[in-house]
Amino acid sequence: MCSIIGFCDKRAQYEVVKTALLKTTSRGPDASRIIDTGNGFLGFNRLSIMGLNDAGMQPFELDGSYIVCNGEIYGFRKLKEMLIKKGYTFKSDSDCEILLPLYKEFGTDMFRMLDAEFAMVIYDAETESYIAGRDPFGIRPLYYGETTDGVLSFASEPKNLVGLCHEVKPFPPGHYYKDGEFICYYDVSKVNKYNKQDDLDAISKNIHDLLIKGVEKRLDADAPVGFLLSGGLDSSLVCAISAKLLNKPIETYAIGMDIDAIDLKYAREVADYIGSNHHEVIINRNDVINAIEPVIEALGTYDITTVRASIGMYLLCKAIHEQSDIRVLLTGEISDELFGYKYTDFAPSAEEFQKEAEKRVRELHMYDVLRADRCISVNSLEARVPFGDLAFTDYVMHIDPERKLNTYNKGKYLLRHAFEEDHILPEDILMREKAAFSDAVGHSLKDDLAEFAEASYTDEEFEERCEKYTHATPFTKESLLYRDIFEKYYPGQSGMVVDFWMPNKTWPGCNVNDPSARVLSNYGDSGK
């Protein structure tokens, strides 16, 4: 990960920009630089992943224009070759150095050309204006706001802008900003026509081949790569595919509670099967409670399920940072939004399933993607998400939703079936029932959080304190605890998250008051 910042006006003050950029040093601990564009400032904190020498340091400059980008541009070498033929020269092996020449050649059409995870801000010297853009899933974070004296500002995290801007907003994924407008260049959730010609065999082959390509792209790094392994379907597939592609032992990492970890035994089974160098991190109740505040400070959210799931991920990434030289982590996020959660087994129709998938994909940047980014980046690591590969997700989103419904007596069957013939995972792992990450780290994790919150407020204090929050009003003592801590670090900025992540309460079996799958009637073997 890296962090970027842009204060887009001559009125911007260098010391203000410098102080703001310092707040996300953990995203880019290797080097820091701020340049004066002549019409504001661009700043960059670097975590070296591609092109590790000083020549890869940003901001990059071309003919008086500048760019800062937190991103991975997959297949950048082919684009670089094309630009060299057009007469451009390059000083580094950084993938992001191609972006200014690409912008010079294609303008904002460049955004549609990128197979990438990115957040960027460009200063165009010719028009004396700023352009910003973000990848279609919002895998790389970007926020914006106007300072109290009217300076338009962009930054990697809200903490860069809180206290400077009255309102901090997430930059919409799949959009670019130009001349005061946000323009959508790619809506990954929008499906106009389903692919109904592919039968089950064709669907399985395409899912299989496209996911492998998505993983393969994300193994390209000049820095050491590791893998988060929960023992669930998604992370296990990413690890197994990677081990096969690399044809050598990979470094896998798992976490669990000291008394009732569910995931650890499954992660160990996968690690043994694929021959990885496996590492376990064991945590206890004190670790969980002590992590609540730093996790919420890092996340910039009060959402219940996001905070719960982040506790284990944050502590695991902290251990990886402290105990290894790993810089890049591959993760299993974005599979559930595409193939279904436990609660989507209750979808009353294929149309409703699809509408829910589209909603979840649109909102990913506020929930699972936010969690993965902050837990990993605050520990000076970079996240890569193979299930967010654009070719893969485009195909899966266009599969006839009738085929995604759980009519197979097994959730996410299409994904499981796609890898049955490979035998790259044990059968029981490939067909293992889904367990939410926070639950699978240990049921006691969620219970410890709820008990701590219950002891933090009397019933009278709970009723009184909830009343002051009119947006996303807390409805349990746990949600109030998270909101109170959130307001300590991000006062008045609750609108950055639209609401609490919850199952679709309008569906049969889903009218619940807790986001955990444990409260659903179909939880079943997920907790074993």
- The catalytic residues are 2
Torsion region of 119: left, alpha or beta (phi above 0 gives left; psi -120 to 50 gives alpha) = beta
How far is residue 306's CA from residue 452's CA, in Å, rounded to a whole number?
17
Is there a cis peptide before residue 173, judged by omega within 30 degrees of 0?
no
Instruction: Select from 500, 504, 499 the least CA-distant residue to 520.
Output: 504
Beta strand residue intervals within 74-174, DSSP E: 116-124, 129-134, 143-146, 152-155, 169-170
Match 């009732």 to its residue by tokens: 260
Distance of CA 275 to the CA centre of its chain: 27
Residues 95, 51 contacting (CB under 8 angstroms): yes
Give φ, ψ of 450 to 5 degrees: -65, -40
Concatenating the DSSP letter of every residue in 188-206 gives TT--SS-B-S--HHHHHHH
DSSP 32: E
Residue 250 · residue 224 · CB < 8 Å: no
Separation between Cα atoms, residue 5 and residue 8, nearest integer Å: 10
| Sequence-separated (6 or more) residues with CB below 8 Å from residue 466 | 473, 474, 475, 480
293 CB-side CA count, 13 A: 7
Place of tokens 């074993």: 528
The span from the CA of 39 to the CA of 201, in Å, is: 56
Residue among 313, 264, 267 nearest 287 (CA): 313
CA–CA distance, 312 with 60 (Å, rounded to integer): 37
Whether residue 188 contacts residue 361, with contact meaning beta carbons closer than 8 Å, is answered with yes
How far CA 473 is from CA of 366, 499, 516, 527, in Å, comes to 17, 9, 19, 30
Q: Among 504, 137, 134, which residue's Cα sits nearest to residue 352?
A: 504
How many CA atoms lie within 13 Å of 249's alpha carbon, on the beta-carbon side?
Answer: 11
Question: Are 368 and 138 contacting, i.e. CB atoms less than 8 angstroms apart?
Answer: no
Cβ contacts of residue 66 below 8 Å, gap of 6+?
35, 37, 42, 59, 60, 100, 122, 123, 125
